[in-house]
Amino acid sequence: MPIKIANELPAHKSLESENIFVMTEDRAMSQDIRPLNILILNLMPTKIETETQILRLLSNSPLQVEVELLQVKSHKSKNTSEEHMLKFYKTFDEICEKKYDGLIVTGAPVENLEFEEVDYWDELCMILDWSQKNVYSTFHICWGAQAALYHYYGIPKYPLEEKLFGVFPHKCLDTYHPLMRGIDDTFYVPHSRHTENRRSDIALVKDLQILSYSEQAGVHLLSDMACRKFFATGHSEYDRETLAKEYFRDVNKGLPIKVPYNYFPDNDPNMLPKMCWKGTANLLFTNWLNYFVYQQTPYDLSTL
């Protein structure tokens, strides 16, 4: 799909080098098309890397998408330059009067904190509440999914005995759900987290449906019954070497970390990781955009 992003965003050059059709702002202005307006609330510390990963997946359909990047102003990014944040990111005050076809909320490395201890928790709750009337469909990832499940439904997260780290097999629980169309009976998803949501808690909420599950990684994809909110506990957007970077970072810090499960060939960190989740990742985001954003959202967003 032609994806419209700021001309100078670092992801622009990376995506073009992969032969992904990235539309310049000038060209987009000359087209008489109503693009899908997608807002990305990026809570990850490696913002440029996360931007590129998500934009890559949003580009894999014939739909035209216009993306805006959102930050929380109650937290200052330590790993991304202030210049980048000022140039490419907006705050809630700047977008709160607008409406969007879709919102993606990323993960964040704060899962060992209680939700209320996160310094931007109140602001995040405000954005989630705002999204219910100003965004047609939302897609929450990893800690972003845990935070939304807790905020909307009171579903807690629980600490794991050790970090869930690697690429795990999953099974679809509803093969007829449009989000799962084209996805194999068994598919793989990277996970990197210290906490989990439990199936028993989710089963008590009538408004939620579990769409996929892993015997090792637990609950993976969830949807509300209106198919307006989606939650993913894994990181389908991860690049081939994202888990490797996390592994070597922790090794270099002397932290206790196991080799990511089912990731390096022969479990050898010196080998190039095998990527077995790319097809699923593309289908997941394409299905979300097509069936739950493009085909459902009103043409005139002011009527949302």
Q: In terms of DSSP bridges, do strands 65-70 and 208-214 run parallel, antiparallel, or are they unpaired?
A: unpaired
Handedness of CA 23, 29, 30, 35 (dihedral sign): positive
Per annotation, catalytic residue among 140, 142, 172, 191: 142
For residues 281 and 57, is the Cβ–Cβ distance under 8 A? yes
Q: In terms of DSSP bridges, do strands 186-196 and 208-214 run parallel, antiparallel, or are they unpaired?
A: unpaired
Verify whether residue 66 is a known catalytic residue: no
Handedness of CA 6, 11, 15, 17 (dihedral sign): positive
Distances in whole angstroms, Cα of residue 51 to Cα of each of 144, 149, 201, 282: 15, 23, 32, 15
Q: Where are the beta strands (DSSP E) in 51-172?
A: 65-70, 89-90, 100-105, 135-141, 158-172
For residue 189, give the H/E element and its range.
strand 186-196
Amino acid at residue number 34: R
Rama region for 182: left / alpha / beta (φ>0; ψ in -120 to 50; rest)? left
Nearest to 65 by CA among 91, 114, 31: 31
Verify whether residue 172 is a known catalytic residue: no
CA–CA distance, 4 with 139 (Å, rounded to integer): 19
Verify whether residue 161 is a known catalytic residue: no
Per annotation, catalytic residue among 49, 196, 235, 246: 235
Per annotation, catalytic residue among 51, 66, 68, 237: 237
List, by residue number, the catalytic residues.
Answer: 142, 235, 237
